[in-house]
A and B are shown apart, each in its own frame.
Chain A
């Protein structure tokens, strides 16, 4: 049973559009929700993270929207660029342990110029 579900599996957008990647989770004890991106042949790199005390977090073109009641969170990438093309993983961990991350299966994003 996948505790963190991610959709879509793949996504193609045009340059300049907003890409929306979605995740949902099962466990109510999760309280740390990061997004990582991974380029081919490289390691995952932290992009942005949120805790349930907030329902939104922004960092430049990247925004996490968080809905605690529905146990869903999403990553919005505004003004998508071809350089954003990568695999994006959402994850979750329990309170007090940001190391034990449960990852989603990833969304492969392709930004077409």
Chain B
């Protein structure tokens, strides 16, 4: 069990650019959620998938889309990046409706 794996760890993009963040959940975990953390503090719920179906959406900008694949890994496609998108992006996974384990996160810097 290697935990929740996120890639890349760090990424720098120019304003207006695009980026893809990847999340590999713990083996067997079909629930994947994404959170954004800004300034090392506030954690905002972005979106949740369960069994490849979107279950709930929170603060996910319309410029971003998230998809969960057959093997339950998840990808966040980010476009038209803005300076305010600079943040840590965490995904987390769980079995059914149990406790979630967070990945190590991706630090996105938009310049």
Contact with A along B22-60 (1 / 0, CB 8 A): 000000000101010000111111001010000110100
State the Cβ distance, A90 to closest chain B Cβ, in Å. Answer: 11
Please name the residue on chain A nearest to B31 by beta carbon. A99
B73-111 at interface with A (beta carbon < 8 Å): 90, 92, 94, 97-105
Are A89 and B100 closer than 8 Å at their CB atoms? no
Which of B58, B99, B102, B105 interacts with A100 by CB under 8 Å? Answer: B58
Given B41, B101, B104, which contacts A42 in the complex, CB threshold below 8 Å?
B104
> Once A and B bind, how many residue pairs between them come within 8 Å at the CB atom?
57
Q: Is the CB of A98 within 8 A of B41?
A: no
Chain A, Cβ-Cβ closest to B48: A99
- Residues from chain B with a CB closer than 8 A to the CB of A106 are 41-42
Are the C-beta atoms of A44 and B97 separated by less than 8 Å? no
Task: Tell me how far the C-beta of A38 lies from the nearest C-beta in chain B, rounded to whole angstroms.
Answer: 8
Q: Give which listed residue, A87, A98, A102, A105, contacts B99 with CB less than 8 A.
A: A98
The answer on a CB contact under 8 Å between A105 and B48 is no
Please encode chain A, from 45 to 74, with 1 for each CB lying within 8 Å of some chain B CB and 0 for all others.
Answer: 110010000000000000000000000000
Select one of A43, A89, A99, A102 contacting B94, CB under 8 A. Answer: A99
Nearest 10 pairs of A and B residues by beta carbon: A43-B102, A103-B43, A99-B33, A99-B48, A44-B102, A100-B56, A43-B105, A43-B104, A46-B99, A98-B97
Interface, chain B (partner A; CB < 8 A): 31, 33, 35, 40-45, 48, 50, 55-56, 58, 90, 92, 94, 97-105
30 contacts between A and B (CB under 8 A): A34-B99, A40-B40, A42-B104, A43-B90, A44-B43, A45-B102, A46-B100, A49-B99, A89-B43, A91-B43, A96-B97, A97-B48, A97-B55, A97-B56, A98-B94, A98-B98, A99-B31, A99-B33, A99-B48, A99-B50, A99-B56, A99-B92, A99-B94, A100-B48, A100-B58, A101-B100, A103-B43, A103-B44, A105-B42, A106-B42
